[in-house]
Amino acid sequence: MRPGGKAFIARAARSALMGLLLGAGLGLAVVLLPVGSPAGPRMAEAATPEEAEAAAQAQDLAALAERRLLLPVQGVAASELRDTFNEGRDAGARPHEALDIAAPRGTPVVAVDEGRLVKLFTSVPGGLTIYQFDPSSRYAYYYAHLDRYAEGLSEGMTLQRGQVIGYVGSTGNANPEAPHLHFAIFRLDPERQWWKGTAVNPYPVLVKAGRGP
């Protein structure tokens, strides 16, 4: 008997009817359960978490390169940046995951991109900090150790690219002898909460942006 034969069809019809009767008792969901191949369509090979994260990071670099970010400290050129992203902090207890950009206290700090100022936050390690989202709310820009904020900042306002938002300092756990801007970029989680995200290295993004078109 071929699977397409009459007996097969009759059997299929009977089991479909049984399914409907059962479904009537158990609710529509039962009827809507997929029938056919028990395992469902074969899924593409799942990437390891490391591979998925590497792919996400490559995407971050491409997306952020398109933003053509400004350098966040006035008067500091891309060639003067040092990649401090993978350095350890607290005697290696945690990764730095940011750039430290040294500059004299009081040097203006500018918004690297346009986008909403989401949070003005004072923390023990970061001191006076600013969290800004990019226009798509995919990324957060984080500026820390500020000496003070610029006049007129408020949460929820839209910052213009290049707008002065504060001044380099050493608030928080920075060495008072070595004022600097601690600048980080986070890929936000789907909930878009300013305090949750995955660090993206700003160094290649800023160096590329600073090179001009």
The residue ranges that bind Zn ion (CB under 5 A) are 98, 100, 182
Least distance from C-beta 112 to Zn ion, angstroms?
16
Least distance from C-beta 114 to Zn ion, angstroms?
24
47 contacts 174 by C-beta, under 8 angstroms: no
Least distance from C-beta 125 to Zn ion, angstroms?
9
| Residue whose CB is nearest to Zn ion in the complex, by number | 182
> Of 81 and 116, which has the nearer Cβ to Zn ion?
81
Least distance from C-beta 80 to Zn ion, angstroms?
16
> Of 116 and 131, which has the nearer Cβ to Zn ion?
131
> Of 101 and 116, which has the nearer Cβ to Zn ion?
101
> Of 133 and 142, which has the nearer Cβ to Zn ion?
142
DSSP line for the chain = --TTSHHHHHHHHHHHHHHHHHHHHH-HHHHHS--SSTT-SPPPPPPPHHHHHHHHHHHHHHHHHHHTPPPSBTT--GGG----TT-EETTTTEE--SEEEE--TT-EEE-SS-EEEEEEEEETTTEEEEEEE-TTSSEEEEEEEEEEEPTT--TTPEEPTT-EEEEEB--TTS-TTS-EEEEEEEEEPTT--TT-EEEE-HHHHHHHHHT--
Least distance from C-beta 118 to Zn ion, angstroms?
20
Distance from C-alpha of 80 to C-alpha of 102, rounded to nearest angstrom: 9
> Of 116 and 142, which has the nearer Cβ to Zn ion?
142
> Of 116 and 182, which has the nearer Cβ to Zn ion?
182
Least distance from C-beta 96 to Zn ion, angstroms?
6
Distance from C-alpha of 179 to C-alpha of 147, rounded to nearest angstrom: 9
